[in-house]
Structure 1
């Protein structure tokens, strides 16, 4: 089995796709007006309009209501990413901080309130843990 994607349900596909394009530096693919994908080597971040959730059954997903999932993106240089993103990110949760498990991490929220963790492995153990991922 291979991990394929995480999908965010939103009422603003264009706005969220633009936000993630800025965060990742990757242009969104748009196979339909109600759907966008940020395709990365390790997996895809899909963004679907709330109308698409109906295709999976009533009340299967509600836009802008996530409070349990953290989208995590590994970066090469956390300090450089912080400087790049700081001027336009609307809600910072945590500035770059070294975590007990060896990652330097920063947390922010996307326009729908989803939590995003950008991190860089910095300890020897963390670097080793992520070397093949």
Structure 2
């Protein structure tokens, strides 16, 4: 018998606690991760359905760089939120940009056209005058 405080809270359980004590719960979690090939594969498999080896192959195919900008290191798995299908590996900024534009090609095209339209059209701000009247 162990004290109730040795069990993690869990509202979904009738008792309000996990069925395993903290050390046993942690050991079971570690065993699950080890069985899948480590914590990285465990995370990638659960979240995106790919293994660490598949992610490494994608990274090598992209020469370690973002699939969009090709400049920054590819560190994020990009996937379709509708189908769950993995698309490529992206840098932080490109991944965030797609998310901000809700992966909508029309909005992305409109943003690109906006930038192209305004490129070079804005006059440089005049330098502040060093003399006062």
Query: What is the TM-score when the length of structure 2 is the normalising length?
Result: 0.21
Larger radius of gyration: 2
User: Which structure shows the bigger proportion of residues in helix conformation?
Assistant: 2
- Structure scoring higher RCO (CA < 8 A, sep ≥ 6) equals 1
User: Which structure shows the bigger proportion of residues in strand conformation?
Assistant: 1
Query: What is the TM-score when the length of structure 1 is the normalising length?
Result: 0.21
